[in-house]
Structure 1
Amino acid sequence: MTVLVNVIVMVGMLLVVPAGLRLTGLAELDRIRRLWPLFAAPGAVALWLPRGPTAAALALCYALGAVLLALHAPRRALRGRDRSPAGIALLTALVTPAVAALALVAERRGHELFGFGLEILALTVPHFHFAGFAAALVAGLVCRVDDGPAGRFAALSVPLGTLLVLVGYFIGDWTELAGAAVLTAGMWTVGLLTWRLGQAAGRDRTTRLLLFTSAAVLVATMLLALSWAVGEATGLPHPTLTWMAATHGLGNALGFALCSLLAWHRIRTLHPSESRTA
């Protein structure tokens, strides 16, 4: 499982975050986006080293970039920006890589942070890259296009579900289940709006296929996430963590995140007004 999780995390670090930052359209993030490889490359190397001081030091390089990114969220909030549902989703996207980076540093050092085992910390890293950063960013993008009740629900429920899952780590499995339910509802709404976006008149075939793939994958991957959370809370049979990494994790990384971001980059090129987030 370790090799697969590491590959998924590298996709998040090296591809998903910088691609997502470009989609925000925020000039204030241009510098950190250009510098991102300097943070992400050491973090990616840290994944493959034995746990210890060297791996933790390299992971700290990634954490520095993630914290610098996260600091933009309170700055924008204090300036009175991003109070809309789409804006809240964007702020969530800016913060969540820092949560992943904190887990990465602790896991690479071999430290059971807040009492969480190393396996859970290792899985927290991809979770907050994809169910955090990518999901919140895409929820914000679809809300900008469809600012009706469904779009606003997606943009608010994805951050709320992500927060509840994080809080559930500390409170208990039932809170985590509530978070998984809210996040699933939000992501399925994102999938529905993404499917509708793919049906828009004038959409080219490649972009349409990417959007349809992203939407379809979400149906399966979030159902897996919900079944796992139900099993953890109730003791009912549920997929193992290894199985979740190979299905839910890989599907969200490649089928949802990468396909979504590629589609949105194409939309930004062909229809710039559809990808505004600020």
Structure 2
Amino acid sequence: MTVLVGWILALGMVVVVPLGLRLIDDDRQRLGPVGQVWPFAGLLGGLSLLLDRGDAFAVALACCYAAVAAWLAMLALLRLLRRRSLAPVEVAVLTAMVSPAIAASSLIAERGGRELLGFGMTTQLLTVAHFHYAGFAAALVAGLTASRAPSPSSSVAALTVPGGVALVFLGYFTGDGVELAGAVVLTAGMWLLGWIVWREVAPSAGGRLTRALFGVSAAVLAATMLLALSWAAGHVWDAVPHLSLTWMAATHGLTNALGFALCGLLAWRRLQRAPNGRQGAAGVT
């Protein structure tokens, strides 16, 4: 694992998830304790990446992170049972809440140096990244967007982003063709999401910095998701050029982590804290 990939994963665990948790509505006051504990659990998960693969202490640290992620997944189940809704906003938010647990299970296996369900170490690292940024951050942003700017288009984005995430994951089990189909669905959802944020959400944000953060978050998707498409297509057809894993981490991974996820969630947090911010189904309307 490269140092850059480790930093990207640590950013997701330590910063992106706890920042996103603050944006989810909490009608029963159950997310507060998870949000308070998460930065410490994320730090333990990040520290596990600094140790050698196969180190027992690295596995123990990853298990601590997984325990808190499982707690969040349980709260997702309780939310589903309580609300009994599979509206697009809810599908997106529930996907975000469950995704870190999937990432954490892969992190435990990778830190232990063991194949999980036949997946090698590289695939397990991709799973950790995929479910922190596409599974959590992108799905949450899709839910927030559908809540603030309700329309058929935003509802489609709130469904296709989780659907694409699931298809890409299913492709790990079934083959590159399914993974490519997932990349197509996810890219379409992300591009649609970026367009809605650019055209509807950003202009309505009050502060200049907030609008700029929304703009950056939306704009970077045009390039980063094209790289994801070329990566998936290149594993189906040899003639399609695609970057190496190292360069994918340095371009697609880093830009999505900083440009899309971090800037986007910071923008939503600023919008939430604005004097005229209003709480809604996913956190902000």
Correspondence list, 1:225-264, <5 A: 225-236=228-239, 237-264=241-268
Correspondence list, 1:176-255, <5 A: 176-196=179-199, 197-200=201-204, 203-236=206-239, 237-255=241-259
**What's the secondary structure of 1:35's corresponding residue?**
helix
Specify the alignment match of 1:38 in structure 2: 40
CA contact (8 A) 1:267 1:275 kept: no
Pick aligned residue for 1:277 from 259, 273, 282: 282
Residue ranges of structure 1 left out of the alignment (5+ in a row) = none
Cα distance, 1:216 vs. partner? 0.6
Specify the alignment match of 2:74 in structure 1: 71
Residue ranges of structure 2 left out of the alignment (5+ in a row) = none
More helix by share: 1
- C-alpha distance in 2 between matches for 1:276 and 1:19: 17
Cα distance, 1:37 vs. partner? 2.5
What is the letter of the counterpart of residue 267 of structure 1?
L
What is the letter of the counterpart of residue 49 of structure 1?
L
What is the letter of the counterpart of residue 16 of structure 2?
V
Alignment deviations for residues 161-205 of structure 1 (CA, whole Å, 9 cap, x no partner): 0010111100010101111110001111110111021122x6321
Q: TM-score, normalised by structure 2?
A: 0.94
In the comparison of the two structures, how many residue pairs are matched? 277
- C-alpha distance in 1 between matches for 2:3 and 2:16: 19
Specify the alignment match of 1:152 in structure 2: 155
1:102 and 2:105 are equivalent in the alignment: yes
- C-alpha distance in 1 between matches for 2:41 and 2:191: 32
Q: Which moved more, 1:247-256 or 1:1-10?
A: 1-10
CA contact (8 A) 1:162 1:179 kept: yes
**What's the secondary structure of 1:115's corresponding residue?**
coil
- C-alpha distance in 2 between matches for 1:142 and 1:153: 11
**What's the secondary structure of 1:79's corresponding residue?**
helix
Runs of 4+ in 1 over 4 A off after TM superposition: none
Cα distance, 1:274 vs. partner? 6.4
CA contact (8 A) 1:107 1:122 kept: yes
Q: Which moved more, 1:134-143 or 1:235-244?
A: 235-244
- C-alpha distance in 1 between matches for 2:281 and 2:209: 21
Computed over aligned residues only, the root mean square deviation of the Cα atoms, in angstroms, reads: 1.4
- C-alpha distance in 2 between matches for 1:264 and 1:232: 35
**What's the secondary structure of 2:150's corresponding residue?**
coil
- C-alpha distance in 2 between matches for 1:275 and 1:51: 43
CA contact (8 A) 2:15 2:39 kept: no
**What's the secondary structure of 2:23's corresponding residue?**
helix
- C-alpha distance in 1 between matches for 2:225 and 2:24: 25
- C-alpha distance in 1 between matches for 2:58 and 2:10: 15
Q: Which moved more, 1:48-57 or 1:234-243?
A: 234-243
